[in-house]
Structures are given as structure tokens and as C-alpha cells.
Structure 1
Amino acid sequence: MATTLINGINYSWANVTLILFGVPVVGITKISYKRKQKKENNYGMGAQPVSRGYGNYEYEGSIELYQDEWQRIIAASPNRDPFQIAPFDIPIVFDGSRIQPEKHVLRSVEFMEDGFDASQGDTKLMITVPLVIGGIEK
């Protein structure tokens, strides 16, 4: 008897490819990004809102990658300083057999921090790098 997949095949981490500077990054373990917009009620007479105001769009994100992958980025940076890299785009491709391909692009990205954290017993060294993002295309 054949098993029926009720909702088909879902995207998974195995379907995500992140491209930095034209090269797929294999040492990345996490990508996080979001877009938000400030929205608030405006008040006049009485206690109930009389209108709603809409503010700016804001973008934030981060990547988590292996220390050696981050060191390669630093080595290729101008003056070995990742903060001197000109704003760049990060394409994120969702692709694989039996799923609908999709692509997101983080626009005008720059790295915001360059830190290090390790503890006794760590079997891998990971770096989380916050990103400043100028826009997100989906």
C-alpha cells in the first residue's frame, strides 16, 4: 500500500543555498532575517483610536557560520577588515527535487560585528555575525 503525503514535500535546511560574493557558502549553519514596519494607533478625543499611523520599514538579520569560514571572509576583505566590504547582496535559494524553487535576496548588506566566543569542550567554533540590511526581496 502506497503512503500518501498529505502536504507534499516541505522546504528544509538541505534545500537552502546561501551565496556570498558569488560563492555558495557551505560553512553556514543558520541564516536569520526579518522585515518589520512600525504601526501604531493615533488618538484624539476620547480613549479610542481615531486613525492609524505607519512608520518606516526596518530590516535585521544575522548569519551563523564556522570560524574558519569567517576567517576566509576576513582574509579576502579590504585590509583584512570585514567592515570595509562595500554593501553587497545575499541571494538565498530554496531548491531541490520535488519542491518549488524560490529565491530571496537580502539587499545592500553589511557586516556589523566581528567577535569570537569559545568554551572548553566545544567541538566546533561558530561565529554569529549581525547584518545591516537595506531591503528584502521575496
Structure 2
Amino acid sequence: MAGIPIINGINYSWASISFVLFGVPITQITKISYSRKQKKENNYGAGYDPVSRGYGNREYEASIEMYTDQWLQIIALAPNKDPLQIPPFPIQIIFGNDGEIPSKDVLQSCEFTEDPFTGSQGDTKLMVTIPILPASIDRSA
């Protein structure tokens, strides 16, 4: 089977991703993770084999890693300086290389669920990983 060539011979890399948070492009994000899952299970009746399949709720989770100084800027602008009080917001993840039409994932109705901090002696940069609760994930919006 012949392989499908990559458009322009260029694959996405970290440099081809941009992030929009609160309507502003954010450059100090160093990692993002998001996923959705759905419970699915076989239903049984007479005999050993399933007679149907049941589908449960979809669940969404996400997190971002960013430089602590960027997180502190978000905290400074949050209601009562508490990022857990920020109303639901979208996060846009835009994938694109030069000469390509960009695609976009949107994490909808996100809320921060923790306000963490960790630092260690000898750190040359301070990073923070913030868990996020999205209500849905729109792929290639």
C-alpha cells in the first residue's frame, strides 16, 4: 500500500502550534494535554456473549504547563486574584505551517481546577502545570 505524502513534506511540530487564551495569543505555554473518553460496555442477557452495548457519559480533561510568571499574570487579572473564580473560557489550539490552511482545536467552557506551584533549589526556570476542566473538545473547529 502506497503511503500518503505529507502536504509540502512538513509535519506539525511544537513551533507550528499557537495558543489563544482569553482572546490573547500566549507564548509561554510549554506543554498541553487534552483528551476525551466515553464509557462503553457490553450488556449481557442469556448465554455468554453480549446482546447489546451500552454507552455512558463522555469525560473531558486537560492541562497546560507554562512559565510561572505567565501564570502569575493570569492570577493578577483573575477575579479576587483567584484563578479558580475565572468564568468558563475557551482555549484555542491552532496547528499550521507556512503555506497551509491552519486547523484548530477548541477546548470549550474551560475552568482551572487548581492553583498549584512547585519549585526546587537549582531550578533555572519555574514552571507550573495547571489542570483544566473543559466541557467539550471541538476538533478542527
TM-score (norm 1): 0.92
How many residue pairs get aligned? The number is: 133
Partner of 1:114, secondary structure, is coil
Q: Is residue 81 from structure 1 mapped to residue 74 from structure 2 by the alignment?
A: no
Q: Partners of 1:48 and 1:132 in 2: how far apart?
A: 37
Query: Which residue in 1 is equivalent to 2:125?
Result: 124
More displaced, 94-103 or 59-68? 94-103
1:47 aligned to 2:64? no
Distance (whole Å) between structure 2 residues aligned to residue 45 and residue 96 of structure 1: 55
Alignment-derived partner of residue 3 in structure 1: none
Assess if the C-alpha contact under 8 Å between 1:10 and 1:99 holds in 2: no
Please show how residues 91-106 of structure 1 align to structure 2 within 5 Å. Answer: 91-106=92-107
For residues 83-128 of structure 1, the C-alpha deviation after alignment (integer angstroms, 9 at most, x for no partner) is: 1111001111112214441011110000000011111221111100
Give the distance between the partners of 1:100 and 1:124, measured in 2 at CA. Answer: 34
Please state whether the residue corresponding to 1:72 is helix, strand or coil: helix
Q: Which runs of 5+ in 2 are unaligned?
A: none
| 1:61-96 Cα distance to aligned partner (Å, 9 max, x none) | 000000000000000001000011110011111122
For residue 43 of structure 1, report the CA deviation from its aligned partner.
1.0
CA shift for structure 1 position 37: 1.0
* RMSD between aligned residues: 1.1
Structure 1 runs (4+) deviating above 4 angstroms are: none
> Equivalents in 2 of 1:98, 1:19: separation in Å?
21
> Which residue does 2:15 correspond to in 1?
14
**Residue type of the partner of 1:70?**
W
CA–CA distance in structure 1, aligned partners of residues 47 and 121 of structure 2: 60
What SS class does the counterpart of residue 40 from structure 1 fall into?
strand
The alignment's TM-score, normalised by the length of structure 2, stands at 0.90
Instruction: Give the distance between the partners of 2:101 and 2:10, measured in 1 at CA.
Output: 9
Aligned to 1:90, what secondary structure does the other structure show?
strand
Question: What residue number does 2:114 align with?
Answer: 113
C-alpha distance in 2, partners of 1:49/1:96? 46
- Post-superposition offset of 1:46: 2.0
Structure 1 unmatched ranges of 5 or more = 1-5
The DSSP-based 3-state class of the residue aligned with 2:46 is coil
Query: How many angstroms apart in 2 are the aligned matches of 1:90 and 1:123?
Result: 28
